[in-house]
Amino acid sequence: MKKYLQALLVASVLLTLTACGRLKDSDLSSNSTTSLKKSKTYQTTDTGSTGYNVLLKNGKYVTSDIDGITATNKDNSVDEREFQRGLVAISKNVYPTGTNVFQEGQYLDSTTVNNWLGRRSKNNPAGLNPAVNGSKAASSRNPIYLEELQEQNYLTGSGSSYHLSGLSIGLALNSSDYYQKTTDGPYFSTSISRANQRSYGERTAETVIARLRRRKALKNVPITIGLFSKTDQDSLVGGSYFAYGTASANSSKITKWKPVSEKWQVLPTVGSAKAYSSSDESKFTNFKGAIENYFPNVSGVIGYLRYQDKKLVQENIAITTQFYGYEQVQSFTRLVESCAKKYLSNDTAVEIKIGSVNDVQALVFKESADSAYQVHIYGGE
Amino acid sequence: MKKYLQALLVASVLLTLTACGRLKDSDLSSNSTTSLKKSKTYQTTDTGSTGYNVLLKNGKYVTSDIDGITATNKDNSVDEREFQRGLVAISKNVYPTGTNVFQEGQYLDSTTVNNWLGRRSKNNPAGLNPAVNGSKAASSRNPIYLEELQEQNYLTGSGSSYHLSGLSIGLALNSSDYYQKTTDGPYFSTSISRANQRSYGERTAETVIARLRRRKALKNVPITIGLFSKTDQDSLVGGSYFAYGTASANSSKITKWKPVSEKWQVLPTVGSAKAYSSSDESKFTNFKGAIENYFPNVSGVIGYLRYQDKKLVQENIAITTQFYGYEQVQSFTRLVESCAKKYLSNDTAVEIKIGSVNDVQALVFKESADSAYQVHIYGGE
Of A46, A84, A334, which is closest to B326 when you measure between CB atoms? Answer: A84
Least CA distance to B358: which residue of chain A? A358
Cα dihedral: B90, B96, B100, B102 (round 10): 20
The reply to whether domains B2-260 and B265-377 share a CATH topology is no
Amino acid at B178: Y
Least CA distance to A19: which residue of chain B? B342
Instruction: Tell me whether B18 touches chain A (CB under 8 Å).
Output: no
Element (H, E) at B12: helix B2-19
> Residues A133, A135, A139, A140: is their CA dihedral positive or negative?
negative
Rounded to whole angstroms, the Cα distance separating B153 from B91 reads 10
**How high is the pLDDT of residue B61?**
86
**How high is the pLDDT of residue B335?**
86
Least CA distance to B290: which residue of chain A? A16
The band of B331, judged by pLDDT with boundaries at 50, 70 and 90, is confident
**How high is the pLDDT of residue B12?**
36
Of B20, B316, B338, which is closest to A22 when you measure between CB atoms? Answer: B338
CATH 1.10.357.10 fits A2-260, yes or no: no
A68 or B280, which is more confident: B280
Instruction: Tell me whether A54 touches chain B (CB under 8 Å).
Output: yes
**How high is the pLDDT of residue B8?**
37
The band of B15, judged by pLDDT with boundaries at 50, 70 and 90, is very low
Helices A278-294 + A326-343 axis angle, to 10: 150
Q: Find which of A25, A103, A168, A294 to mutate to test the B interface (most B CBs within 10 Å of its CB).
A: A294
| Average model confidence (pLDDT) across chain B | 84
DSSP state letter for B260: -
Tell me the C-alpha to C-alpha distance, in Å, between residue B207 and each of B123, B129, B204, B244: 19, 12, 5, 15
From B115's Cα to the closest Cα of chain A, the distance in A is 22
Instruction: Tell me whether B23 touches chain A (CB under 8 Å).
Output: yes
Q: Find which of A92, A315, A381 to mutate to test the B interface (most B CBs within 10 Å of its CB).
A: A381
Mean pLDDT score, B346-350 = 89
**How high is the pLDDT of residue B93?**
95
Instruction: Tell me whether A366 touches chain B (CB under 8 Å).
Output: no
From B186's Cα to the closest Cα of chain A, the distance in A is 31
Instruction: Tell me whether B228 touches chain A (CB under 8 Å).
Output: no
Backbone angles phi, psi at A214, to 5 degrees: -70, -15
Instruction: Tell me whether B338 touches chain A (CB under 8 Å).
Output: yes
CB contact under 8 A, B325 and A47: no
From B20's Cα to the closest Cα of chain A, the distance in A is 5
Longest pairwise C-alpha distance within chain B: 72
Longest pairwise C-alpha distance within chain A: 72
Rounded to whole angstroms, the Cα distance separating B316 from A360 reads 14
**Residues A44-54 as b or e (16 or more Cβ within 10 Å = b):** bbbbbeebbbb
Of B21, B22, B365, which is closest to A376 when you measure between CB atoms? Answer: B365
**How high is the pLDDT of residue A380?**
64
CB contact under 8 A, A88 and B46: no
Phi-psi region of A349 (alpha: psi -120 to 50; beta: other; left: phi over 0): beta
CATH of domain A265-377: 3.30.300.190
**How high is the pLDDT of residue A369?**
72
Mean pLDDT score, B163-179 = 96
CB contact under 8 A, A290 and B16: yes
> Residues B30, B32, B38, B43: is their CA dihedral positive or negative?
positive
Least CA distance to B17: which residue of chain A? A290
Amino acid at A343: Y
**How high is the pLDDT of residue B199?**
97
From A340's Cα to the closest Cα of chain B, the distance in A is 9
- pLDDT 10s digit of each residue in chain A, 381 long? 333 334 333 333 333 344 454 444 433 222 322 333 344 678 787 666 678 989 988 878 888 999 888 998 776 777 888 999 999 999 999 999 999 999 999 999 999 999 999 999 999 999 999 999 999 999 999 999 999 999 999 999 988 889 999 999 999 999 999 999 998 899 999 999 999 999 999 999 999 999 999 999 999 999 999 999 999 888 888 899 999 999 999 899 999 999 999 999 999 998 888 999 999 999 999 999 988 877 767 778 999 999 999 999 999 999 988 776 788 888 888 888 889 999 999 888 999 988 876 677 788 888 777 777 878 877 665
B26 or B327, which is more confident: B327
E strand residue ranges, A31-186: 42-45, 53-57, 60-61, 101-104, 146-158, 161-173, 176-180
Q: How many CB pairs under 8 A join A and B?
A: 203
Instruction: Tell me whether B343 touches chain A (CB under 8 Å).
Output: yes
Contact between B244 and B226 under an 8 Å Cβ cutoff? The reply is yes
CB contact under 8 A, B21 and A324: no
Instruction: Tell me whether A259 touches chain B (CB under 8 Å).
Output: no
Instruction: Tell me whether B302 touches chain A (CB under 8 Å).
Output: no
Q: Find which of B150, B288, B293, B333 to mutate to test the A interface (most A CBs within 10 Å of its CB).
A: B293
**How high is the pLDDT of residue B378?**
76
Residue B58 has pLDDT above 70, yes or no: yes
Mean pLDDT score, B88-93 = 96
Instruction: Tell me whether B373 touches chain A (CB under 8 Å).
Output: no
Instruction: Tell me whether B318 touches chain A (CB under 8 Å).
Output: no
In DSSP terms, B298 is beta-bridged to B321
pLDDT cut 70: percent of chain B above it: 86
Instruction: Tell me whether B21 touches chain A (CB under 8 Å).
Output: yes
**How high is the pLDDT of residue A280?**
96
**Domains of chain B by residue range:** 2-260, 265-377
Rounded to whole angstroms, the Cα distance separating A330 from A350 reads 19
Give the least confident one: B99-113, B182-196, B312-326.
Answer: B312-326
Residue B46 has pLDDT above 70, yes or no: no
Report the length, in residues, of chain A: 381
From A131's Cα to the closest Cα of chain B, the distance in A is 31
